[in-house]
Structure 1
Amino acid sequence: MNAVEIEEALSVLAEQPFDAQEFPFSFLEAFGNKITTIKRLRSGTSNKSDVGGVLQTNNIHIATADPGGVTEKLATLRASPATARGKVRFILATDGDMFEAEDLQTGETVACAYADFSAHFGFFLPLAGISYTKEIKEIEMDMRAARRLNQLYVTLLSDNPDWGTADRRPDMNHFMARLIFCFFAEDTGIFAKGLFTTTLQQMSASDWSITHEIIGEIFRAMNIPTTHEGQVDDRYRRAASIRSWANAFPYVNGGLFSGNLDVPRFSRIARTYLLHIGGLDWRKINPDIFGSMIQAVADDEERGAVGMHYTSVPNILKVLNPLFLDDLREKLEEAGGNLRKLLNLRNRMAKIRVFDPACGSGNFLVIAYKEIRAVEAEVNRRRDEKDRKSDIPLTNFRGIELHDFPAEIARLALIIAEFQCDVLYRGQQLALNEFLPLSAENWITRGNALQLDWLSICPPGGTGVKLVGNNLFSTPLDQAQIDFENEGGETYICGNPPYSGQSEMSAREKDDLAAVFARTTVAWKSLDYVFGWFQKAVEFCSEGAACAAFVATNSICQGQQVPAFWQPCLNSGAKIHFARTSFKWKNLAQNNAGVTVVVVGLTYQPLPAKLFVEDGGDFPTERKVDLIGPYLIPDRDTIIHKVSAPINGLHPMDYGSKPADGGGLIIRSNEYLEIENEIVRRFIKKYLGSDEYIDGRLRYCLWIASDEVEEALTYPFIRDRVELVRGFRAKSTKAKTREQAATAYAFAEIRHGQSSGDDIPLIIPIHTSENRSVLPVGALERGAVVSNAAFALYNAPLWNLSLIASRLHLIWIATVCGKLETRYRYSNTLGWNTFPVPPLTEKNKADLTRCAEDILLAREAHFPATIGDLYDPEKMPADLREAHERNDEVLERIYIGRRFRNDTERLEKLFDLYTKMTASAGAAKKRKAGATA
């Protein structure tokens, strides 16, 4: 179970009547324990409690208490010998009225009313194998709110099917945004405390079926002014015949309550969900990431995992800090108490624009706003101007979003963030005085970011924009009319654009890229969809004082995408001014590995030093470098291109042999076993491609030499199969294949090189899992045939296997060849032919040969385990792992005399050698050309 499912299960348990006998088992069920596990605990088979409770070894010791005895019962659990023997992490006691628990590992405790214990679900997540981090603790309330909103949304759509149609869905989404505002407003002082929920509860108490009418009247009231010419005046409310109980709601404006004020009808269950949402404390809602969770409510595909897909604050700051926030904090530190410098910094921040052209529900914009406000608040504190109104306008935080609901939530999240910052830095009263009515200025544009003009939406020197929208919450959105100067300002483009890979793009996405790159020479058909955002960001930055930084899958700095995009990009004068190497962009789903991403910052501005961050998990390392290359290697801007033959002195590598046979030459394992004639078997060899080699599956093929054809065809089994091949090739649309019908006994393309086909080929899978720590190269038995679904080295010395099985080679392949989906994609022309190898002595080759033999012997010792089994990261045998460690040790000492510290250092050395290798090859080519002339 994931975190959201656990929270829901605990919420249901907390709402049910307390049953002291059943509570421990129900609690454990909420964390995904199997029925058989619960049954063993219930029967006492696995229950090790010595205090009449339930003890699950290595997890938790639970006991129910007599009324008023919870604290004492918890102390009993703590002192229990069984608790120590069972190595439990948690102890828990409750009497159905109070609830207390302790994490014995961290010392943290929980004490609350029984009805509220589900609010602390994150505390117990380790019971489900989910780490309870500070990050989870901070969003517990957001997840609860998102889940309850999700329940309401689904119920309303079920009760009002017409609201789920394409035409009505925008109305439904707009309605949900209005509800969110009302719940937030009644808990933060914008409305009277609990006004919205209490009014709903009281007015529909006797008839739940009129809930929609009550909400509609409240919404109508908030769209009608309560003043005239600056003075309190109820003339407009009286003219509109607003009901007296709705008059307590203020005028909100800003377009949030304008337009269609229809409200879906509520069933009794829907009304109950509505009141449950109102019962939450919305002061604890974080607009930073809450928007992402709310967005999932309106997304049919995402709703099942509501709360699972969001961009965490620490990850967002990995983009925003080096982009501009670190610099602001440094300037604040430099300013100290100097009033002039502090004023200059504040004036600078007032002109900073943050632009997210794939803003979703506004996470990046909200975090950027809050962080800038924090710096501004410190400036004001040092200048003794704490009550000063903020100079940071929301209009400087702009975004583009394709869909209407997240765009609406983004605007709402920014409004909430502004109010929360005002309360935090200026006080509740000043914040309330200036909050309503909402401004009608619009900062989020709804549309396709790759089809819109970014310069008109967020001009870098800023004198306004071209298109005009109605108001802040109009739907659908156009671009806004914001007319104010921003001369001398800075613009920072940021975000987390869509990731669609080149092979996954829809027709519309391909059209988008074609339009973006129409005026360039970039070979865009080989690029991922995200490069549309990079290209538009580069064009934007070339026009003024702007920098950009995006999160994207690490494939953008690997393989063919580097020469295709980065070479022309960097040749245009753009520079990578900071980068963060690969890290996992995780969510809260249980055991979720997350997508591997990088952060890349781009600019045309003359920045003397570039920031390079090697992620390293919990311990990232930062350093300033002169330049960052397109493969995200510091001080190396070399780009690797395909070459048809090795430039490193290594043995040539090619694809395996291609049958083009219609199945005639290929023999399945069961068919081979049925062949009893030993002479027929003499014309058969083992036949392996990537899948067969990794999975340990056997296939065979007919392999008939030209001088053996006459004899082979005397056997009916062979003759029938050759005729099948002949017929298949004769019908081909390709002339060359039809010509090969004359030699139907042989493979269409034989790539054994100059060998007789009786050598020991090395096989290299074309694709392999990213979870493997080495490339699964292998040595086949003598005479085996490698299929064209793999690469092969023929007649190559065994020490070549040592090179391919090394960490050095894996990192090279991952970087210069890239990936297919998430799997490593091998290339002979791009990866093997270019792999830098220092001059090897005979002793070096002998040492590497021994390493290769040790690897093969370690595999042999675990027969019949397959390569897939052996290289499963969770099951890799210790002796095989040690053999690979020795191989890396020997090889890396050949390169630099010691082990490399990390992969970045490996790549730096490889790129150094590549530069020298290509320079030498170029010089030799010139000498040869000169001699010929």
Structure 2
Amino acid sequence: MNAVEIEEAVSELVDQPFDTAEFPFAFLAAFGNKETTIKRLRTASANASDVTGGVLQKSNIHIATCSEGMVGETLIALRNSPKTTSNKVKFILATDGLSFEAEDLTSGETVACAYAKFPEHFGFFLPLAGITTVKQIRESSFDIRATGRLNKLYVELLKDNPDWATAARRPDMNHFMARLIFCFFAEDTDIFNGEGLFTATIDQMSDRESSNTRYVISTLFRAMNTRIEDRAKAELPRWANGFPYVNGGLFSGSTEVPKFSKIARSYLLHIGGLNWKMINPDIFGSMIQAVADDDERGALGMHYTSVPNILKVLNPLFLDDLRDRLEEAGTNPRMLLNLRRRMSRIRVFDPACGSGNFLVIAYKQMREIEAEINKRRGESDRRTEIPLTNFRGIELRDFPAEIARLALIIAEYQCDVLYRGQKEALAEFLPLDAENWIVSGNALRLDWLSICPPAGTGIKLHAEDLFHTPLDQPQIDFENEGGETYICGNPPYLGFTWQSREQKAEIRELLGGRSSASGFLDYVAGWFVKAAEYIDRTGSVAAFVATNSICQGQSVPLLWPHVFEAGCQILFAYTSFKWSNLASNKAGVTVAVIGIGRPTSSPRKLFEHDDTGGVVVRMGASITPYLTLGQSIIIEKRNAPISDLSVMEFGNKPTDGGHLLLRPDEVPLLGLSQKEEATFIRRIYGSDDFINGGGRCCVWIEDTHLGEALAIDTIRERVDAVRRVRLSSPDKGANALAKRAHQLKLMRIGTRHAIVVAGVSSEHRSFLPVGLVDNRTTLTNLAFALYDAPLWNMALIASSLHISWIATVCGKLETRYRYSNTLGWNTFPVPPLTEKNKADLTRCAEDILLAREAHFPATIADLYDPDAMPADLRAAHERNDEVLERIYIGRRFRNDTERLEKLFELYTKMTANLGKSPKARRAATI
């Protein structure tokens, strides 16, 4: 269940007669517990409660109903219950059907209210459904409640008006919903003359069978688009004349309304009965945009970005500086006046604005600072000088763009009420200003300079186009004085594999038409390229939330030279952290916040999350595109190691149509003698085989044994099959390989042993999968090998230093580590090693192998399970890290950040005098 469904279930529960015995089970069902779970809890053996009238769900909640007036005492009994402690209960809840009390035993937060009001606190209990909550959701159930009701209405209207569900009419439907939302808000905040006026008029003037509901609503919309002085000519009915003139583009154009069924009318009246004063534009917009998106409706109420996360972008971008200037000004009238004037000319531009979260938060934060300025100057009732027209955005879809405009309007009104009072807010609110402007279009195709031009140039938007912004940019002509511009937002993340042909073309064109250059870039990279070009022309500053893939692997040399060549540097950044929505059991993407702009003399700020969830701020002269402090350097592939390391090569690519590879149980079917099997059969591993156990065999024929092999019928048949496969391939390289159809494409194997490195492995392991195989085992091209390399090379690969390097410079496949010999191993900086260093590291590698052997037949996957790694194996890795890191800096590194900064520093020194990458050399045997 999603949050909207839970809220509806809880609301239905409270509307039913209170049943002392059934309430605990009905409550649990409302939060998504299956009937089988409820049935089990009804039995004494499964219900561990030791409180009268209690039901206990292990690791979740202990509920008890009680007689009237005993709620407080019952809650104490639940808190003191030994069963509450032993069953690791997170919540306790007591109610008598009149009063309701609950406590989060983890945080200590409580809820105490009338029983009928507890649905307003349903967000408090969302963890019971596996949904991670944040403070805003817990405190504002209204937004989810309104979203759910609007969704029901939306779906019902589309069912009754199938033509409005078509692509051609969907914008009309979405525009209609935006008008409704405004009316619901306006009637509850005295913007309309009379609380509940809109809903009451529809209720009174439309018949219960809803035959004329569309006429009533359409007439009200027409009234709101008609100036008071023109009402007589408009021939509006008396019941519509009480509505004010709104305009601002919201009610201009067609006033057509979809057909309403009796059910749809009922839904509308129910929505109007909610208290729309409680709307929170910070989050409501993101939730409501899912209503109009068929693909997102399943996660209704989940699509919103928390204010703390938005402020990770906005604070270091410009808000912190405004607050610093406010602190510096103190009570100095002139300094305060200058700051207020500066703020009035600041523009905030979100070129992927969605439903306007970033713009709304930026506006509200700036109004808060302005209000403090006015207070210190003794001008608390002063009208704001911060225009909504300075908060601009681009959004691909029309409905979120429309909701973004509406969210800004609501935010402006709420700020006016908060800082100036409702009387002043109402006096200046209507008619709406036609210059509230969000563009609907493709941000990577539009010219940002036209939307947010440099200081001193102008653009204009006609009033009738406010809620139907044209894509033909020459139509736009809106006067603007200019000023500072700050670009921000959370652009869409989309890996190359999942991009459409058009999206790939957009990235390719932004990178100068080089198709190969865009092959590893996430779609979000396009916003950084566009922002850098904009900054080059205007001197602005930009900060985006981005998937951290753009700061890893091959994305770095593809993207960041474009940014740097435009004269930009990374001014601040938040290193990787999880950015998740509220969907139950849905993992969040790992992101970074990156701010770019022209070079300044100010120190660069790097924000990092510590183990306690707090944020540590570190400062330096520059930030690398890998989000470490240090010289801005880009790691590129090299053909040979920059350090004195053995050469790492791919395993063997079969290109055999499967005829040279066998399952172990197929080997006996070849009918080989023991000697023949020893000569012609080898074990072969890929990454998955190496990590999870198993593995296959392969036919292995050296040229010197070809005649002997072909004399064996079962082998000759397989060789002939390989020849046919290679000859029939459209690949000329495969055709050429048909001449040696008895062999894999590559025939690499160690004369004594090989060190194996998995090509792709889980990001959850603390160490990279690396191991040792004998000279009768070979590898596929899905793994890497150091053939006959000294064992101390394995100690390097098995270290925390190396996995930090690989995670940063190699990037990932989805979320898994993707190893690269040219980008990860050949670039790995290792200081010169003494013979003692090598001997110590060799002993560490041996200890790791011996620790693994002690747990035979456990696989690499078993041994390196982060929750079940054997203590002796972990200790062996700790000793390995201790030995290696002392070679680098004489002590252990404190964290990965320190590891990376040292590695980048060493890499810079080691490559300073290197020319082109030298050819690889094969390692000497030990």
TM-score (norm 1): 0.93
Supply the distance in 1 between the matched residues of 2:179 and 2:788 (Cα, whole angstroms): 72
Query: Which residue number in structure 2 is paired with residue 145 of structure 1?
Result: 146
> What SS does the corresponding residue of 2:644 show, helix, strand or coil?
coil
| Alignment CA distance shift 1:460-1:789 (3 Å) | same
> What SS does the corresponding residue of 1:388 show, helix, strand or coil?
coil
Supply the distance in 2 between the matched residues of 1:139 and 1:758 (Cα, whole angstroms): 68
* One of 521, 544, 556 as aligned partner of 1:562: 556
* One of 518, 534, 541 as aligned partner of 1:540: 534
* One of 693, 709, 714 as aligned partner of 1:712: 709
Greater CA deviation, 335-344 or 211-220? Answer: 211-220
Query: Which residue number in structure 2 is paired with residue 220 of structure 1?
Result: 222
Supply the distance in 2 between the matched residues of 1:742 and 1:475 (Cα, whole angstroms): 65
Supply the distance in 1 between the matched residues of 2:163 and 2:202 (Cα, whole angstroms): 24
Q: Please say if 1:627 is aligned against 2:629.
A: no
Per-residue displacement from partner, 1:712-738 (whole Å, max 9, x unpaired)? Answer: 222222111111112222334444433
Task: Work out whether residues 612 and 628 of structure 1, in 8 Å CA contact, stay in contact via their aligned partners in 2.
Answer: yes
Corresponding letter in the other structure for 2:293: D
| Alignment CA distance shift 1:31-1:782 (3 Å) | farther
| Alignment CA distance shift 1:269-1:664 (3 Å) | same
Q: Please say if 1:364 is aligned against 2:365.
A: no
- Residue 922 (structure 1) shift: 5.4
Paired residue total: 912
Q: CA RMSD in A?
A: 2.5
Task: Work out whether residues 567 and 598 of structure 2, in 8 Å CA contact, stay in contact via their aligned partners in 1.
Answer: yes
Q: Please say if 1:484 is aligned against 2:479.
A: yes
> What SS does the corresponding residue of 2:403 show, helix, strand or coil?
helix
Task: Work out whether residues 97 and 113 of structure 1, in 8 Å CA contact, stay in contact via their aligned partners in 2.
Answer: yes
Corresponding letter in the other structure for 1:39: K
> What SS does the corresponding residue of 1:543 show, helix, strand or coil?
helix
Listed as ranges, the matches of 1:494-509 within 5 Å are 494-509=488-503
Task: Work out whether residues 630 and 904 of structure 2, in 8 Å CA contact, stay in contact via their aligned partners in 1.
Answer: no
Query: Which residue number in structure 2 is paired with residue 31 of structure 1?
Result: 31
| Alignment CA distance shift 1:813-1:735 (3 Å) | same
- Residue 676 (structure 1) shift: 5.5
Per-residue displacement from partner, 1:850-883 (whole Å, max 9, x unpaired)? Answer: 3223333333344443333433334434443333
Per-residue displacement from partner, 1:636-683 (whole Å, max 9, x unpaired)? Answer: 212212111112110000111122222221112331354553344221
Query: Which residue number in structure 2 is paired with residue 10 of structure 1?
Result: 10
Query: Which residue number in structure 1 is paired with residue 238 of structure 2?
Result: 244
Query: Which residue number in structure 2 is paired with residue 232 of structure 1?
Result: none
Q: Please say if 1:848 is aligned against 2:857.
A: no
Query: Which residue number in structure 1 is paired with residue 581 of structure 2?
Result: 587
Supply the distance in 2 between the matched residues of 1:869 and 1:88 (Cα, whole angstroms): 31
Supply the distance in 1 between the matched residues of 2:255 and 2:856 (Cα, whole angstroms): 71
Supply the distance in 2 between the matched residues of 1:94 and 1:209 (Cα, whole angstroms): 44
Query: Which residue number in structure 2 is paired with residue 747 of structure 1?
Result: 744
Greater CA deviation, 309-318 or 47-56? Answer: 47-56
Query: Which residue number in structure 2 is paired with residue 100 of structure 1?
Result: 101
Supply the distance in 2 between the matched residues of 1:32 and 1:709 (Cα, whole angstroms): 66
Listed as ranges, the matches of 1:118-157 within 5 Å are 118-157=119-158
| Alignment CA distance shift 1:335-1:851 (3 Å) | same
- Residue 526 (structure 1) shift: 4.2
Task: Work out whether residues 51 and 77 of structure 1, in 8 Å CA contact, stay in contact via their aligned partners in 2.
Answer: no
- Residue 430 (structure 1) shift: 0.3
| Alignment CA distance shift 1:340-1:280 (3 Å) | same
Q: Please say if 1:429 is aligned against 2:430.
A: no
Task: Work out whether residues 692 and 859 of structure 2, in 8 Å CA contact, stay in contact via their aligned partners in 1.
Answer: yes
Query: Which residue number in structure 1 is paired with residue 718 of structure 2?
Result: 721
**Sequence identity of aligned pairs in percent?**
63
Query: Which residue number in structure 1 is paired with residue 169 of structure 2?
Result: 168
Task: Work out whether residues 442 and 471 of structure 1, in 8 Å CA contact, stay in contact via their aligned partners in 2.
Answer: no
Per-residue displacement from partner, 1:747-788 (whole Å, max 9, x unpaired)? Answer: 222233xxxx44322221222222222221222243211011
Query: Which residue number in structure 2 is paired with residue 210 of structure 1?
Result: 212
Query: Which residue number in structure 1 is paired with residue 924 of structure 2?
Result: none
Corresponding letter in the other structure for 2:311: L
TM-score (norm 2): 0.94
* One of 662, 677, 680 as aligned partner of 1:681: 677
Supply the distance in 2 between the matched residues of 1:337 and 1:674 (Cα, whole angstroms): 92
Supply the distance in 1 between the matched residues of 2:917 and 2:25 (Cα, whole angstroms): 77
* One of 696, 700, 703 as aligned partner of 2:697: 700
Q: Please say if 1:788 is aligned against 2:781.
A: yes
Per-residue displacement from partner, 1:373-413 (whole Å, max 9, x unpaired)? Answer: 11111110000001111110111111111111011001001
Query: Which residue number in structure 1 is paired with residue 829 of structure 2?
Result: 836
> What SS does the corresponding residue of 1:503 show, helix, strand or coil?
helix
Q: Please say if 1:773 is aligned against 2:766.
A: yes
Task: Work out whether residues 463 and 483 of structure 1, in 8 Å CA contact, stay in contact via their aligned partners in 2.
Answer: no
Corresponding letter in the other structure for 1:867: I
Task: Work out whether residues 457 and 466 of structure 1, in 8 Å CA contact, stay in contact via their aligned partners in 2.
Answer: no
| Alignment CA distance shift 1:847-1:600 (3 Å) | same
- Residue 52 (structure 1) shift: 2.9
Query: Which residue number in structure 2 is paired with residue 184 of structure 1?
Result: 185
Query: Which residue number in structure 2 is paired with residue 899 of structure 1?
Result: 892
Corresponding letter in the other structure for 2:201: T
Supply the distance in 1 between the matched residues of 2:736 and 2:618 (Cα, whole angstroms): 61
Supply the distance in 2 between the matched residues of 1:572 and 1:96 (Cα, whole angstroms): 66
Greater CA deviation, 619-628 or 446-455? Answer: 619-628
| Alignment CA distance shift 1:427-1:749 (3 Å) | same
Query: Which residue number in structure 2 is paired with residue 231 of structure 1?
Result: none
Query: Which residue number in structure 1 is paired with residue 200 of structure 2?
Result: 198
| Alignment CA distance shift 1:740-1:78 (3 Å) | closer
- Residue 215 (structure 1) shift: 2.0
| Alignment CA distance shift 1:71-1:265 (3 Å) | farther
- Residue 432 (structure 1) shift: 0.5
Task: Work out whether residues 493 and 523 of structure 2, in 8 Å CA contact, stay in contact via their aligned partners in 1.
Answer: yes
* One of 752, 760, 765 as aligned partner of 1:759: 752
Query: Which residue number in structure 1 is paired with residue 921 of structure 2?
Result: none
> What SS does the corresponding residue of 2:50 show, helix, strand or coil?
coil
Query: Which residue number in structure 2 is paired with residue 929 of structure 1?
Result: none
| Alignment CA distance shift 1:13-1:866 (3 Å) | farther
Supply the distance in 2 between the matched residues of 1:517 and 1:656 (Cα, whole angstroms): 34
| Alignment CA distance shift 1:739-1:643 (3 Å) | same
- Residue 293 (structure 1) shift: 0.7
- Residue 591 (structure 1) shift: 3.6
Task: Work out whether residues 439 and 472 of structure 1, in 8 Å CA contact, stay in contact via their aligned partners in 2.
Answer: no
* One of 327, 340, 365 as aligned partner of 1:333: 327
Supply the distance in 1 between the matched residues of 2:550 and 2:312 (Cα, whole angstroms): 18
Supply the distance in 2 between the matched residues of 1:357 and 1:923 (Cα, whole angstroms): 40
Query: Which residue number in structure 1 is paired with residue 347 of structure 2?
Result: 353
Query: Which residue number in structure 2 is paired with residue 931 of structure 1?
Result: none
Q: Please say if 1:653 is aligned against 2:654.
A: no
Q: Gaps spanning 5+ residues in structure 2: where? A: 919-926
Greater CA deviation, 825-834 or 477-486? Answer: 477-486
Task: Work out whether residues 352 and 491 of structure 1, in 8 Å CA contact, stay in contact via their aligned partners in 2.
Answer: yes
Listed as ranges, the matches of 1:809-824 within 5 Å are 809-824=802-817
Task: Work out whether residues 94 and 114 of structure 1, in 8 Å CA contact, stay in contact via their aligned partners in 2.
Answer: yes
Supply the distance in 1 between the matched residues of 2:471 and 2:917 (Cα, whole angstroms): 62
Task: Work out whether residues 178 and 256 of structure 1, in 8 Å CA contact, stay in contact via their aligned partners in 2.
Answer: yes
> What SS does the corresponding residue of 1:91 show, helix, strand or coil?
strand
- Residue 598 (structure 1) shift: 1.1
Supply the distance in 1 between the matched residues of 2:853 and 2:115 (Cα, whole angstroms): 59
Task: Work out whether residues 669 and 700 of structure 1, in 8 Å CA contact, stay in contact via their aligned partners in 2.
Answer: yes
> What SS does the corresponding residue of 1:580 show, helix, strand or coil?
strand
> What SS does the corresponding residue of 2:583 show, helix, strand or coil?
coil
> What SS does the corresponding residue of 1:43 show, helix, strand or coil?
coil
* One of 873, 883, 887 as aligned partner of 1:890: 883
Per-residue displacement from partner, 1:785-822 (whole Å, max 9, x unpaired)? Answer: 10112211100122212211212111111222222332
| Alignment CA distance shift 1:924-1:457 (3 Å) | closer
> What SS does the corresponding residue of 2:465 show, helix, strand or coil?
coil
Task: Work out whether residues 134 and 306 of structure 2, in 8 Å CA contact, stay in contact via their aligned partners in 1.
Answer: no
